[in-house]
Amino acid sequence: MALVISDDCISCGTCEGTCPVGAVSQGDGKYQIDPDTCVECGACAENCPVDAIGQ
């Protein structure tokens, strides 16, 4: 199961820059993770300043 970004996202863009497979992109009001591309490495979650990324 791919990681997801919660509504706690502040749209800082940190997650997009840390994803090694390009699964993160700007969505409507918050960033989103493409479940078909995500490899669940956790790089985005480790770098999120508001802990908005999880299972």
The model's pTM = 0.91
Q: How far is it, in rounded angstroms, from Cα 51 to Cα 31?
A: 13
pLDDT at 1: 81
Under 8 Å between Cβ of 39 and 3: no
Ramachandran region, residue 2 (left: φ > 0; alpha: ψ -120 to 50; beta: rest): beta
Q: What is the pLDDT of residues 1-55, one digit of tens each?
A: 899 999 999 999 999 999 999 999 999 999 999 999 999 999 999 999 999 999 9
The per-residue pLDDT for 10 is 97
Cβ 6 vs Cβ 15: under 8 Å: no
**E runs forming strands in the chain:** 4-5, 24-26, 31-33, 53-54
